[in-house]
Structure 1
Amino acid sequence: MIGRKSIGRASPLLLILVALASFLVTYNLVVLVIKNWPREEQTPVVDDPVIQMPTDLNRPGRTRRPFHVAVTATDAPYSKWQCRIMYYWYKNMKDKEGSEMGGFTRILHSGKPDNLMDEIPTFVVDPLPAGMDQGYIVLNRPWAFVQWLEKATIKEDYILMAEPDHVFVKPLPNLARGSYPTGFPFFYIKPSEHEKLLRKFFPEEKGPVTNIDPIGNSPVIIQKSQLEKIAPTWMNVSLMMKDDKETDKAFGWVLEMYGYAVASALHGVQHILRKDFMIQPPWDLKLGNTYIIHYTYGCDYSLKGDLTYGKIGEWRFDKRSYLRGPPPRNLSLPPPGVPESVVTLVKMVNEATSKIPGWDD
C-alpha cells in the first residue's frame, strides 16, 4: 500500500509530466496547422474536382504543360470551312503569353485525303464500316480518336478534344490538373434524370450515376494516357447506346456525349468542370473570362436587337445556312443591342475569312 507521503512526493513529478505532454501535443498541433496553412504561392489541394480551379495558371516559374489540339472532321464543305476558321484562330493564339497550346491535328475520318491537307495538319483515319453509324455521323468521332491515338506520334502529354465550330477567343492554358481532366458542363447533359437508361451501361457496382459528369468529349483537356484507355470504351458504349432503341430515342443528337461521359466514369475519371471554358451564343451574352466561343446555335435577331430564336431573324448568323459552302467574306455586323458574344463571334469570323487565302474558292 502506498502511503500519503509517497503520493505527495509523486504529485509534482506527475504534474511536470502532464504539463510536458500537454506542451508537446499543443506544439505539434500548432506546427501542423502552420505547415498546412494555405499560402499565396501554393495551389490548394483539390478534394472535390467538380469546382472552379484556382487561377494560378500564369504563376511565375510554373512548368509549362503543352497540350495537343485535336479536332475530328469530315470532308464535307460544311466541316471544311469551320475547320479553316478554327485553325486560323489556333495559330493566332498559340504563341501568345499564357498559351500552352502545342501541336494541332485535324483527324479526318473520311478515309481519304482532301484539299485541305497542305493548309491544316491532318491525319486521315477510316470511317466506321458502312451502316454502322445508322446515319448518326458523330459516332465516327470516338472511332477516329481510337485510330489516331494508336497510329499517330503525339509529342504532348495532354490533349484538347475540340470541334470545328470552336473559335479561340484568347490564349488557352492547360486547365487540367494531373489526373483530373477539365471539361465544360453542359446544361442538357443530366445523368441523374436518366438513371434507368444509364444503368444499362453503368452498373450499380460502379457507384451512383452522379459519378457520371455532365459533359461531352469536347471541350476536354485530358492526359493522353487517360484518353488512350477511355477512347475504346467511349466507342463501344456509344455504339451500344445507338443500338438500344430506348436510349437512342431519349438521347438523340447528344448520345455520343453521354457515351464519353459514361466511358470516363467507368474508368474512374472525374473532370474538373469549368464554366469559363467556353460560351455558347446567343444564350451566353458576354465574353467574360472565356477561352472559346462555340457557335452551335443559330443567332437570330430583329433589327431592334431582339432575339427571335426559333424564328428566322431580320439579321442572322447560323452555321447551318452554309451547308454546301463557306459563308461570304465581310458578313454584316449585328444590329445595335445584340449581345457582345454574338458581335465578337461575327467579327472573328470576318477577320479569319479576310485573312485566309482562297476563302471564296
Structure 2
Amino acid sequence: MGRASPLLLILAALASFLLTYNLVILVIQNRFKVERVSSRLTDPVIQMPTDLKRSEQSRRPFHVAVTATDAPYSKWQCRIMYYWYKNMRDKDSSEMGGFTRILHSGRPDNLMDEIPTFVVDPLPAGMDQGYIVLNRPWAFVQWLEKATIEEDYILMAEPDHIFVKPLPNLARESYPTGFPFFYIKPSEHEKLLRRFFPEEKGPVTNIDPIGNSPVIIQKSQLEKIAPTWMNVSLRMKDDKETDKAFGWVLEMYGYAVASALHGVQHILRKDFMIQPPWDLKLGNTYIIHYTYGCDYSLKGELTYGQIGEWRFDKRSYLRGPPPKNLSLPPPGVPESVVTLVKMVNQATANIPGWDDGR
C-alpha cells in the first residue's frame, strides 16, 4: 500500500500537463479575441458616427443670384445665362441651388415667367451719377432683407456669365471664394484706399484683388458686407479723385474694401472663370465671362481694339438679342472663343421665343 506505481505517476503527470496546456490555449485565444474586439472599438474610422460620415459628403448648395436691368442688352444675356444654369444644375458634382435674377428696375418685365425674378428698387434718381453698376450693391441689400433664400451660400454672378461645367461650392465655411482680377491692384492705390480703409484695419494687402462677382459666400457674411459695400461704393463715386482713378471698376473696389473692413478674406481661384480673348484655353474653368470683344482676322489673328473681319462682341447687340446660328470663328482662333460662340448658339437655338426679340 505504501507507494503508487510508476505507471500511475506518469499518467497523472500527463493529465496535469494536458489540463494546463488547454487552459493556457484558452486564455490566449480569449485574449486574442478581446484584443481584436478592442481594436475594432478604438478604430477611429469604423467608430466614426454614420451621420458625421454623411456630413462630410453632403451637398452645400448655393443660390445663384444675378443683378440685372430691364434693358434688351441685359435681358438676352440673362436668358443665355439661365439656360446654361439649368443645363448644369442637376449634373454630378454640381451644388447649384436656386436661381434669382435681381431686377433693379423697380418694376416687372416680360421675363418674369421665364426666369425666377425678384424686383427691387433702383437708387434714387441721379444718385448713381450715370454709373448704373452702383445699383448692384443696393439691389443685394434689398434682396437679402426681403427675399426668402433657403441656401446658406450665395453665388454672385453677372448676366454675361456662361457655366461651362457643373459648379461645386468652392467656398470653405467662413472663407468665401472669388476670382482674382489682374486689374484690381490695392497696393498701387494705397493713398486713395486709405480714405475708405483706415490704417487701424491693417495693411492694404488685406484687400483682396477681386470684385463681387464671381464670388461664392455665406449668406450671413454677405448680409453684413452688402450695406457696407453699398455705402463705400457711393462714397468712392462722390470722391472725384477716386472716381477718376477707378472708373468702371469702382464698384469692384467697393466690394473688396467692404469685405476687408469686415475681416473677410477670400480664397482666390483662377480656375473660377476665363475671359476670352485673353484666356485662350478652357482648362478646368467653370465660367466663361464674355465681357471683352473678340475681334479676329480671317487668318485667326487677334485684332483687339480694331473691328475684326470676324467678331463677337456683346456690345454689338445693345438694342436686341444676337441672331441664332452665329458664324463660327475662322481657323486658328483660340478654343475659349470657339466654345463661347458654340454655347451661345446652342442656347439661342433652344430658348423658346428667342426670335421674339425680347
Structure 2 Cα separation of the partners of residues 106 and 173 of structure 1: 20
Give the superposed CA RMSD. 11.1
Aligned residues of 1:86 and 1:165 also touching (Cα < 8 A):
yes
Distance 1:21 1:123, change over 3 A: farther
State the 1:45 CA deviation. 28
Tell me the residue number matched to 1:267.
262
- Gaps in structure 1 of 5+ consecutive residues: 1-6
Are the counterparts in 2 of residues 51 and 272 from structure 1 also a CA contact under 8 Å?
no
Unpaired segments ≥5 residues, structure 2: none
CA drift at 1:360: 1.3
Residues 8-41 of structure 1 deviation map (CA, whole Å, 9 limit, x = unaligned):
99999999999999999999999999999xxx99
For each residue in 1:243-278, what CA deviation from the matched residue of structure 2 results, as whole angstroms up to 9, or x when unmatched? 000000000000000000000000000000000000
1:157 CA displacement: 0.0
In 1, Cα distance between equivalents of 2:11 and 2:236:
69
Q: Secondary structure at the match of 1:171?
A: coil
Shift of 1:62: 1.6
* CA distance, structure 2, for counterparts of residue 75 and residue 353 of structure 1: 19
Greater radius of gyration (CA): 2
Q: TM-score, normalised by structure 2?
A: 0.85
Tell me how far apart the structure 2 counterparts of residues 268 and 27 of structure 1 sit (CA, whole Å). Answer: 71
C-alpha displacement at 1:63, in angstroms? 1.7
Whole-angstrom CA distance in 2 between matches of 1:271 and 1:27? 69
**Equivalent position SS for 1:72:** strand
Q: Deviation per CA, 1:99-143, whole angstroms, max 9, x where unpaired? A: 000000000000000000000000000000000000000000000
- The answer to which structure has the higher helix fraction is 2
> Residues 63 and 302 of structure 1: is their aligned pair in 2 closer, same or farther, counting only changes over 3 Å?
same
Query: Hey, what's the Cα distance between the residues in 2 that align with 1:157 and 1:292?
Result: 22
Relative to 1, partners in 2 of residues 1:195 and 1:333: Cα closer, same or farther, differing over 3 Å? same
Q: 1:286 to 1:14 in 2, by over 3 A?
A: farther
The percent of aligned pairs where both chains have the same amino acid is: 91
Shift of the alpha carbon at 1:219? 0.0
Spell out the pairing of 1:109-128 with structure 2 (5 A cutoff): 109-128=104-123
> Would the alpha carbon gap of residues 98 and 243 (structure 1) be closer, same or farther in structure 2, given more than 3 Å must change?
same
Alignment deviations for residues 212-240 of structure 1 (CA, whole Å, 9 cap, x no partner): 00000000000000000000000000000
Whether the aligned pair in 2 keeps the contact of 1:281 and 1:341 (CA below 8 Å) is yes
Following superposition, the deviation at residue 154 of structure 1 comes to 0.1
CA 1:82 to 1:25, structure 2 compared with 1: closer, same or farther past 3 Å?
A: farther
Secondary structure of 2:50's partner? Answer: coil
Aligned residues: 352
Sort the Cα spacing of 1:327 and 1:238 in 2 relative to 1 into closer, same or farther, 3 A.
Answer: same
Q: Is the 2:40–2:46 contact (alpha carbons within 8 Å) kept by the matching residues of 1?
A: no
CA deviation profile, 1:295-329 (whole Å, cap 9, x unmatched) = 00000000000000000000000000000000000
* Aligned equivalent of 1:149: 144
Kindly indicate whether the alpha-carbon contact (under 8 Å) linking 1:189 and 1:258 is maintained by their aligned counterparts in 2: yes
Whether the 8 Å CA contact 1:185–1:275 is kept in 2: the answer is: yes
TM-superposed CA distance for 1:60, in Å, is 11
In 1, the alpha carbon distance for the partners of 2:238 and 2:25 equals 59
Asked if residue 21 in structure 1 is aligned to residue 15 in structure 2, the reply is yes
